[in-house]
Amino acid sequence: MSSPSIAIIIYSMYGHIAIMAESVKKGIEEAGGTAEIWQIPETLPQEVLTKMHAPPKPDYPIIDAAKLATFDAFIMGIPTRIRQLPRTMEGAFRSSSLCLTVLINIETNQVFWDSTGSLWQTGALVGKYAGAFVSSAGPGGGQEMTINSALSTLTHHGIVGGSPWGAGTFAGKMGERQPSALELQMAVIQGKQFYGVVSRVKF
Ligand X SMILES: Cc1cc2nc3c(=O)[nH]c(=O)nc-3n(C[C@H](O)[C@H](O)[C@H](O)COP(=O)(O)O)c2cc1C
Interaction with ligand X in 138-157: which residues (CB under 6 A)?
138, 141-142
Alpha-carbon 67 to chain mean position: 14
> Does residue 169 belong to the site contacting ligand X (CB under 6 A)?
no
Max distance between CA atoms of the chain, in angstroms, equals: 61
What is the C-alpha to C-alpha distance for residues 146 and 174, in angstroms, rounded to an integer?
A: 32
Question: Binder to ligand X among 105, 118, 135, 149 (CB under 6 A)?
Answer: 135
Non-local CB neighbours of 147 within 8 Å, separated by 6+ positions: 78, 132, 134
Amino acid at 107: E
Q: Binding residue for ligand X (CB under 6 A) from 81, 94, 128, 157?
A: 81
Q: Which residue stretch of 31-39, 108-116, 136-144, 150-158 sits at the interface with ligand X (rule: CB under 6 A)?
A: 136-144
Nearest distance in Å: CB 17, ligand X: 3
> Which helix H or strand E contains 20, and what residues bound it?
helix 16-30
Among 8, 12, 28, 157, binds ligand X (CB under 6 A): 12
The single residue among 6, 8, 9, 13 that binds ligand X, judged by CB under 6 A, is 13
Those residues with Cβ within 8 angstroms of residue 136's Cβ, 6 or more apart along the chain or in another chain: 79, 80, 142, 143, 146
Q: How far is the CB of 80 from ligand X (least distance, A)?
A: 4
Instruction: Write the binding mask 60 to 79 for ligand X: x where contact by CB under 6 A, - elsewhere.
Output: -------------------x
Give least dist CB 13 to ligand X, A: 4
Strands of the sheet containing 6-10, edge to edge, are: 35-39, 6-10, 73-79, 129-135
**Taking the complex as a whole, how short is the minimal distance between the CB of residue 128 and ligand X, in angstroms?**
24
Residue with smaller CB distance to ligand X, 13 or 98:
13
Q: DSSP state, 3?
A: P
Where along the sequence are the contacts to ligand X (CB under 6 A)? 12-17, 79-83, 135-138, 141-142
